[in-house]
Amino acid sequence: MRYGETGYNLEIDLTKGTIERVETDPKDTELHLGGLGTNAKILWDRVPAETDPFSPDNILIFSTGLLCSTPAPGANRTIVATYSPQTLFMAYSMMGGVFAPELKFAGYDKLIFRGKSPNLVYVWIHNDKVEIRDAGHLKGKGAVETQELIKKELNEPDAQVAAIGLAGENRVYMASIEQGRSSASRLGVGAVMGDKGIKAIAVRGTKDVNVARPAEFLQLCNEVLEYIKFREERPIPNVMTILQGLGSPQEMKHTDEKWHTENFMWGNARTRRKDFWNKEIEEKWEKTQLGARKRLISCYNCPMKCGAIISLPGVPTYMMKCFSKLTYTMAAYVEDLDFAFKIAQRATEYGVDGFSTPQTMAFAVELYDAGILTDKDFEGCPSDNEGRFYWLLDRIARREGIGDILADGTYWAAKKIGKGAEAYAHNNIKKHEQLPLKLGMLNPVYFLMYCTGEKMNITQIEGQFPQSPFVTMEEREEFIKDWTQVPDEKFKQYVLDWEIRGEKSNPYYPTPEIATEIVDWQEMMHFIDDALGVCAGLSSFPLKPPYHIHNYPKLISAATGVDMDEEKLKEIYRRNRNLVRAINVRRGLRRADEKPPEDHWKKRFPELEEKLLDTYYKFKGWNIDGIPTKETLQGLGLDYVAEDFLKRGILKDDEAAPDKGIAAETGKR
């Protein structure tokens, strides 16, 4: 009897059209837990280092997490993993909703796709019955539309469907995978799904999922629920509204957007509008949002209501969550929330990432204004901001004209366009678009996260530690007094010591050593969430969450029957973390790649930044080039990685000069 997991993966070879149900090794669960951890093992073992993301040898994995489908609240995440066509490194993207729970109830922990289908297909999984079906009639259909059509076609209203839209079919590097109100958006996972010819995956499952120690597990789940209720009644004082509660940023609930509109950048991560928010806009936007929003909705077994059903007159109904409410309208310099909801509907049907896409479109507009892109490139484009953005969105999703170049994202587009365009692709890390944020003073904790985060997205590594110091000592003491989630009491002292100005302020405090510990804690929680399939919104992302390092080991023990404690769990985190790093190192990742956008902070400190990275690498057990050392790898049971690195010359036996590394530009099409 397997607990938590089902013990089976579905291996689907799209070239041959074969489907196999394969039993998994429980040892892998013990070493890596599941989700992102076991995904990394599969990619390391089975996809050669030089594989092009659009090669049939690239593997696309849809994984449940170890706790998905147990009663643990918020354990509903699907972890998609593959190689990114944009960054050429490992891509992992998560989505909530109901897909992973349904997949596990159908009896599978993972779907592993290899090869490529010669025709567009969709996969239908109904417990033991798995079919690859023709999807020719769904070609070109929207991601949202496709889900409804498939459910009707199969006469299965309770099936969960993950689908790509036109953007995924056209291998747009910003293509997303959409499912209900959730999406796996970033790093081009939708493009790989489209490249493999998979239009959609439909799942329906009616089997049991077991836990080892039922009463104990339920007790822990009840405690999580109690704490959620407790925490929701006590928003954290003295921090920004959207950092006060649990869940992902409650963009569907809150209508007060002063913080976002005045602190995040408009256009191509370009302009700060400090006096934007006023009473008139507040009233107008509130009216629009409350009118458009039909209902606040949740993901599977989660009491938070981060999503919403959006229904506007004349526009098909769809679902939305989080920051994509504002990203299009701010990128376009359009001050109309109505536009925001309308263009997001079209974007969701195309299936595109709500961070990269608006930025890429704003980038194109800047290039046009600068004369680098010409009237010819923009032939047929309306002249108003709104019209322009709709037009650009259509071109990108269809890879038409200038859209074909823009569809590769700002980094590759700038390279292709030339003529100085590269200066305008100014908001990337490792070729991937970042949040539109440009700040003043360097924050050492954030510096390290931007540089080294393997998800290449700040929201997937930040969370547990306050983003900025509290102004008064009273506020700090208030914050730490019930901060049970800290792995160690020393983190409370760090909050007490952190000042707005003076010696103990940014950028020199937190010190490199302290910043390192903070980042490691934050990253640890994300990595554990991504292996267990628990939503970061109840765990690694908000302050003072219900899931933390102290109750996670108990939950894992009770669910699986395998005894877990904090030290063992931390070791599993380090193993998974180093394995993901190893995959990217093997593809050429080096220290030189680990830097935030040049203009991310006005005030930069080159010497301090070097010291920060040095300290962080040392702490992680990596050499000066960011490569895990032989000792670190062997200490985590990753001897096979060390061997591979030694063979390739990535690591030298004597740990002398670090390898220069293959340029990450190999494998271009």
Partner 1 sequence: MGEKKKKKVRTIKIDLDKCNGCRACEVICSAFHANPKYSSNNPARSRIRMIRDPMRDVYVPVYAGEYTPAECMGRDKYMIGEKEYDECSFCRAVCPSRDRFKEPDSGLPVKCDMCEGEEEPLCVKWCITGALTCEEREEEVEEGVDMKAMETGLGSLVDKYGLEKVAATVARMAQKG
Closest contact distance (angstroms) between CB of 459 and partner 1 is: 22
Query: For residues 402-441, which are near partner 1 according to CB under 8 A?
Result: none
Contacts for 588 with CB less than 8 Å, ≥ 6 apart: 88, 661, 662, 663, 664, 666
| Cβ atoms of residues 37 and 30 within 8 Å | no
| Cβ atoms of residues 267 and 333 within 8 Å | yes
Closest contact distance (angstroms) between CB of 144 and partner 1 is: 8
- Residue 428: beta bridge partners? 433
Closest contact distance (angstroms) between CB of 225 and partner 1 is: 7
Tell me: does residue 371 bind partner 1 (CB under 8 A): no
Residue 129 in tokens: 């019955």
Instruction: Kindly tell me which residue out of 7, 140, 303, 487 binds partner 1, with binding defined by CB under 8 A.
Output: 303
| Cβ atoms of residues 429 and 502 within 8 Å | no
Residue 515 in tokens: 């910043």
Distance CA 115, CA 133 (A): 16
Instruction: Kindly tell me which residue out of 44, 62, 300, 355 binds partner 1, with binding defined by CB under 8 A.
Output: 300
> Is the Cβ of residue 69 or residue 324 nearer to partner 1 in the bound state?
69
Distance CA 125, CA 138 (A): 18
List the x/- string, 207-236, binding to partner 1 by CB under 8 A.
xxxxx--xx-xx------x--xx-------
CA 661 to centroid of chain Cα atoms: 26
> Is the Cβ of residue 227 or residue 450 nearer to partner 1 in the bound state?
227
Tell me: does residue 278 bind partner 1 (CB under 8 A): no
Closest contact distance (angstroms) between CB of 309 and partner 1 is: 5
E strand or H helix at 203: strand 198-204
Query: For residues 308-367, which are near partner 1 according to CB under 8 A?
Result: 309, 311, 317, 319
Closest contact distance (angstroms) between CB of 104 and partner 1 is: 10
What is the rounded (10 degree) CA torsion for 225, 229, 231, 233?
180
Tell me: does residue 181 bind partner 1 (CB under 8 A): yes
Q: How many residues bind partner 1 (CB under 8 A)?
A: 38
List the x/- string, 587-626, binding to partner 1 by CB under 8 A.
----------------------------------------
Stretch that binds partner 1, among 63-71, 246-254, 605-613, 659-667 (CB under 8 A): 63-71
Closest contact distance (angstroms) between CB of 463 and partner 1 is: 22
Closest contact distance (angstroms) between CB of 531 and partner 1 is: 21
Q: How many CA atoms lie within 13 A of 216 on its CB side?
A: 14
Closest contact distance (angstroms) between CB of 303 and partner 1 is: 4
| Cβ atoms of residues 199 and 139 within 8 Å | yes
Distance CA 540, CA 544 (A): 9
Distance CA 651, CA 646 (A): 5
Stretch that binds partner 1, among 299-307, 428-436, 528-536, 546-554 (CB under 8 A): 299-307
Instruction: Kindly tell me which residue out of 299, 340, 402, 449 binds partner 1, with binding defined by CB under 8 A.
Output: 299
The residue ranges of DSSP E strands in 84-185, in sequence order, are: 90-95, 110-114, 121-126, 129-134, 160-163, 177-179, 182-184
Closest contact distance (angstroms) between CB of 319 and partner 1 is: 6
Residue type, 196: K
Tell me: does residue 298 bind partner 1 (CB under 8 A): yes
Closest contact distance (angstroms) between CB of 218 and partner 1 is: 5
Query: For residues 67-86, which are near partner 1 according to CB under 8 A?
Result: 69-71, 73
| Cβ atoms of residues 345 and 316 within 8 Å | yes
Stretch that binds partner 1, among 31-39, 298-306, 378-386, 614-622 (CB under 8 A): 298-306
**Cβ-based burial of 418 (10 A; exposed 0-12, middle 13-18, buried ≥19):** exposed
DSSP letter for 483, please.
-
DSSP letter for 8, please.
E
Kind of pairing, strands 121-126 and 129-134? antiparallel
Closest contact distance (angstroms) between CB of 71 and partner 1 is: 5
Residue 388: helix, strand or coil by DSSP?
A: helix
Stretch that binds partner 1, among 291-299, 431-439, 472-480, 591-599 (CB under 8 A): 291-299
Closest contact distance (angstroms) between CB of 2 and partner 1 is: 12
Is-cis flag, bond preceding 469, omega within 30? Answer: no
> Is the Cβ of residue 129 or residue 279 nearer to partner 1 in the bound state?
129
Instruction: Kindly tell me which residue out of 295, 419, 602, 603 binds partner 1, with binding defined by CB under 8 A.
Output: 295
Residue 249 in tokens: 């940023």
> Is the Cβ of residue 105 or residue 339 nearer to partner 1 in the bound state?
105
Stretch that binds partner 1, among 168-176, 288-296, 404-412, 527-535 (CB under 8 A): 288-296
Closest contact distance (angstroms) between CB of 630 and partner 1 is: 44
**Distance separating the N- and C-terminal Cα atoms of the chain:** 46
E strand or H helix at 10: strand 8-13
Is-cis flag, bond preceding 507, omega within 30? Answer: yes
Tell me: does residue 505 bind partner 1 (CB under 8 A): no
Stretch that binds partner 1, among 250-258, 262-270, 283-291, 303-311 (CB under 8 A): 303-311
Tell me: does residue 579 bind partner 1 (CB under 8 A): no
> Is the Cβ of residue 255 or residue 311 nearer to partner 1 in the bound state?
311
Length of the chain in residues, anyone? 669
Distance CA 9, CA 154 (A): 23
> Is the Cβ of residue 344 or residue 569 nearer to partner 1 in the bound state?
344
Tell me: does residue 294 bind partner 1 (CB under 8 A): yes
Residue 87 in tokens: 């960054």
Closest contact distance (angstroms) between CB of 244 and partner 1 is: 18
Residue 285 in tokens: 């936007």
> Is the Cβ of residue 294 or residue 660 nearer to partner 1 in the bound state?
294
> Is the Cβ of residue 2 or residue 258 nearer to partner 1 in the bound state?
2
Report which of 183, 109, 93, 174 is spatially closest to residue 147, judged by C-alpha positions. 183
> Is the Cβ of residue 456 or residue 556 nearer to partner 1 in the bound state?
556
Residue type, 249: P
Tell me: does residue 165 bind partner 1 (CB under 8 A): no
| Cβ atoms of residues 172 and 191 within 8 Å | yes
> Is the Cβ of residue 121 or residue 308 nearer to partner 1 in the bound state?
308
Tell me: does residue 297 bind partner 1 (CB under 8 A): yes
> Is the Cβ of residue 181 or residue 476 nearer to partner 1 in the bound state?
181
Query: For residues 95-154, which are near partner 1 according to CB under 8 A?
Result: 98, 105, 148
Residue type, 2: R
Residue type, 629: T
Closest contact distance (angstroms) between CB of 305 and partner 1 is: 5
Tell me: does residue 248 bind partner 1 (CB under 8 A): no
Distance CA 91, CA 35 (A): 13
Residue 169 in tokens: 């079919």
Distance CA 492, CA 626 (A): 29
Q: Which residues bind partner 1 (CB under 8 A)?
A: 69-71, 73, 98, 105, 148, 157, 180-181, 206-211, 214-215, 217-218, 225, 228-229, 294-303, 305, 309, 311, 317, 319
